[in-house]
A and B are shown apart, each in its own frame.
Chain A
Amino acid sequence: MTIGQITVRNVSKRFRLERNRPSSLKEALLRTGRRDIDDFWVLRNVDFEIEPGSFFGLIGHNGSGKSTLLRLIANIHRPTSGQITTEGRMSALLELGSGFHPDLTGRENVYLNGAMLGLSRRHMNDAMDKIIDFSGIGDFIDEPVKIYSSGMYVRLGFAVSVSVDPEILLVDEVIAVGDEAFQHRCMDHMNLLREKGCTIVLVSHNAALMGDLCDTIAWLDHGRMLELGDPAPVLEKYLDHMRGGGTTLTTRD
C-alpha cells in the first residue's frame, strides 16, 4: 500500500441501541435474558478505495452514515464487518474541538494532539508559533480550552491538524463554523496540503463546495453507497434526488 491510500472493504457498521440498558451490575444480574436490543445498521457493505493524493467527498442526507464512515476511517469505531486500511499519518477534524481535553490549556492540548499523531514534543515546539499564529488565538493559548468560543475551538483544531503535516486529512464540515476569512484560509490551506500530496476526505452536504473541491464524490443514502465517481454527474443525481422529496424508501430493505 502506498502512503495516503485508504481502502474500505465491504464495511458494515451496526450500532446497538439497548432500551432500558442496565446501568448497574444489580440490574444486569436481575434481568437476565430480557434485554431489548435494537440493531441499527448505519452502514451496509460499503466498498471503495481512495487514491493517494486525491480529494474525496462524501455526500448524503442527514443520517446517511457519512459521518460514521469518516469515524470508522479515523479508527474511532471498529467496523462490525469488513475492513478499513489506511496508510500514513492521519489527522482528523471530526467535530467541534475533537481531540481536545476541556480542562487542559490550548498549549497542552496542542502537545496532546501531537502525541496522538505520533509527533514528539520537540516537533510540536517548532510548530507552536505557527499554530498560534494561524489560529489567531493569541494569549488564550494558555487558558483551558473549555472557556474558548466555538470559533476559537475550531480554529485551533484546524491549525493543529494542518500543522502536523498529515498524509491523510479527514474533515467533517467543521470548517463551516469559522467566519468567512477563516474559511478562506482553510480552503487555501487544504489546497496547499493537496499540492503536497495529502489525501483529503471531506464530509458535507454542501453540494456547491464539494463540486469545487473534490476529485471524486461518493453519495451515501441510508448507509448504502448509491453513486461513486466524478463530482458533476454524482452531484447532479444527488441534487435531483434531494429536490424530488429527499429520502427514498427503495434503498431500504
Chain B
Amino acid sequence: MLKLSPAAQKSANLVYHFAQRETKSRYKRSLLGWFWSFVNPLTTVAVYSFVFGVVYRASPPATENGNAENFGFFLFSGLITWNLFTSIVNGCMGWLQSVSDLRKKVYFPTETALLGGAASNALQTSLEAFVLVAIMAALSNLSWTVVFLLVALLCTIAFGLGVGFVVAIMNARYRDIFYLVGVLLNVGFFLVPVVYPVSFVPEQKWGLPIRALVEWNPPALFVGIARDGVYFLEVPTLGHLAAASAWATLTLTVGWTYFRARSMDISEEP
C-alpha cells in the first residue's frame, strides 16, 4: 500500500471527510436523492434542444457517422464540462466559508475542504458523464476518443480549482466576490461555445479576432475537447490539447500558491 507522510495522510483523511460530507449533505432529506443530479442537466438539455432544435430549427453540427446527430447530445457533451467548472468555482467559496468558523478554533489545512468539495462534484459529474457515454454507446456513436472527455474533465477540475482557490480567499474578505463571480459565470455561459459551435462565431467583428478569443479561452478549450472526444469522435488538435493543459497547470499552480500564502489569515477574519 502507498505509504504517505503523516501530514499527507492527515490531509488525505480530511479530504475524504469533506468529500463524504458534501456528497451526503447534497441530497439530504430528499426522497429521490441522486436522481436530482440528473434532472437539472437533462431538463436544460431538453429545453435548449426544444428552443434551438425545434423553434429555431438549428441543425446539430454534423458528425461522421450521423448516429447521434441531435442538438441535445451536442449540448449535453459541452454542458457537462461547463457545469463542472461553475460548480467547482462557486463551491470553493461556499466550502471555505463553511469551515471558516471551525478554522478559528482549531488548525487544519483549509485546502482540504476545497479539495474534498471538488472531489464530490467530480463524482457527480462522472455520473453524468456515465449517462452520456451510455447513451452514445446505445446509439453506436462511441470510439476510443472518449478518453478525451476524461482529459477535458481533468483539465476542468484543475482549472476550476485554480480559479476557486483565488476567489474563495477573496470572498472571505469581500462577500461581493460571490455575486461578481455569479455574474461573470452567467456571462461566460454564453461566451463559451456551449450552446453553439465555435464555427458559428464570425472571425472578425469590431476589429477583434473574436473567433480566436472564443476558441482559445480555457473553458471553451475544455468544452471543445470533451465534444471532440464524445460527440464528433475526433482527436482534438495538438494545439488545443497543449493550450488546455497549459491553462490548467498554470492556473492551478497560481491559485494554489496564492491560497497557501493567504489561508493562514482566514482565522483572523472577523
Contacts and interface: CB of A to CB of B under 8 A. Distances in A.
A122 to B, nearest CB: 11
Nearest to A116: B108
Interface in B85-127: 99, 102-108
Contacts of B105: 76, 94-95, 97-99
A5 B7 CA distance: 18
A115 B14 contact: yes
Contact of A119 (B13, B102, B108): B13
A220 interface: no
A25 B176 contact: yes
Nearest to A102: B101
B268 A99 contact: no
Interface string A116-130: 111111000000000
B6 A118 contact: yes
Contacts of A121: 13
A101 B99 CA distance: 8
A101 B17 CA distance: 13
A118 B14 CA distance: 8
Contacts of B16: 115
A112 B106 CA distance: 11
Contacts of A101: 99, 102
A119 B16 CA distance: 12
B175 A112 contact: no
Contacts of A97: 105
Nearest to A111: B17
Nearest to A73: B107
Indicate the size class of the contact surface on chain B: 20 to 34
Given A23-B174, A24-B175, A26-B176, A74 B106 contact: yes
Contacts of A111: 17
Contacts of B264: 77-78
B57 interface: no
Contacts of B175: 23-24
B154 interface: no
Interface residues of A, number: 34
Given A116-B106, A116-B108, A15 B6 contact: no
Nearest to B270: A21
A77 B267 contact: yes
Contacts of A28: 174
B201 interface: no
A76 B104 contact: yes
A247 interface: no
Nearest to B170: A25
A75 interface: yes
Nearest to B24: A108
Interface in A99-151: 99-101, 104, 108, 111-121
B67 interface: no
A92 interface: yes
B177 interface: yes
A125 B102 CA distance: 23
A26 B180 CA distance: 12
Nearest to B13: A115
B174 A25 contact: yes
Contact of B174 (A24, A77, A112, A120): A24
A222 to B, nearest CB: 21
**Listed residue (B6, B99, B107) with the most chain A CB atoms within 10 angstroms of its CB:** B107
Interface in A171-201: none
Contacts of B260: none
Interface in B195-247: none
Nearest to A98: B105
Contacts of B180: 25
Contacts of A114: 13
A115 B13 CA distance: 5
B10 interface: yes
B9 interface: yes
Which of B14, B104, B108 is the most central at the interface, judged by chain A CB atoms within 10 Å of its CB? B108
Contact of A25 (B9, B106, B177): B177
Contacts of A76: 103-107, 267
Contacts of A116: 10, 14, 106-108
Interface in B1-48: 6-7, 9-10, 13-14, 16-17, 21
9 contacts: A25-B180, A28-B174, A77-B264, A92-B106, A97-B105, A100-B102, A101-B99, A115-B10, A115-B14
Interface of A: 15, 21-26, 28, 74-78, 92, 94-95, 97-101, 104, 108, 111-121
Interface of B: 6-7, 9-10, 13-14, 16-17, 21, 99, 102-108, 174-177, 180, 264-265, 267-268, 270
Q: Top 5 closest A-B pairs, CB basis?
A: A118-B10, A75-B107, A99-B106, A98-B105, A115-B13
